Amino acid sequence: MAGRPVALITGGSRGVGASIARALAPEYDLLLGGRESTALQQICTELGARPWPVELTDERAVAEAAAGVERLDVLVHSAGVARLGTVAELPVSAWREMFEVNVTAVAGLTRRLLPALRAARGHVVMINSGSGQRAAAGWGAYAASKFALRALADALRLEEEGEGLRVTTVYPGRIDTDMQRSVREQEDGEYEPGKYLRPESVARAVLAALRAGEEAHLTEITVRPAAGPLT
């Protein structure tokens, strides 16, 4: 529909990103980022969204894709990776991968889209993690990347407030997604879906930030499972 605000969601083909896309679809025209796949095509067809299959770690591809976006009201960073292991065990390659995907790619895409976001006095939402607030044994590299993402959001908020840009960080607890299943496998633990947040609950938190009054700026939202975090 012409004239509607535009939102770009990375990691939009599944999990939290897909739930955020479904929550925003009634109000926004959507660009959904993700690897070229059947899943991405299916959700774009379901929601009437446009696929945005860009490899976020490819700086040239990001620059070319972002050049076609002239105005952007909302940018949601939902793509991410998690590799677990102690400092003694985890190879440097895993550290590099997590910082490249969870931090550097976020900074690079945001940088390219800032002109479009400024034109709309837009809103950037970064899906962080409870690990961005507290580190745990075996989670050092992932937590470090999420602490860095928190710093990126804080700096961006201060730098762009004069342009009317809002920046919200969402810190969910463990979520019932494929990533959580992978994490539990890495921990050699049993997957217990009743103990996790539903992706739709995180999507509602994002929607709350976007719907806050014109004078309001929700800078941080923490969402935890009602039963409490796993130990």
Positions marked active-site: 142
* Residue 206 Cα to chain centre, angstroms: 10
Give the torsion sign (CA, 17, 22, 23, 24): positive
**For residue 130, what is the DSSP state?**
G
Q: Which residue has the tokens 């039963």?
A: 227
Instruction: Residue 88: count other Cβ atoms within 10 Å of its Cβ.
Output: 5
CA distance 88 to 92: 10
Q: Which residue has the tokens 């990103």?
A: 17
Is residue 190 within 8 Å of residue 181, measured between CB atoms?
Answer: no
CA distance 183 to 16: 15
**For residue 101, what is the DSSP state?**
I
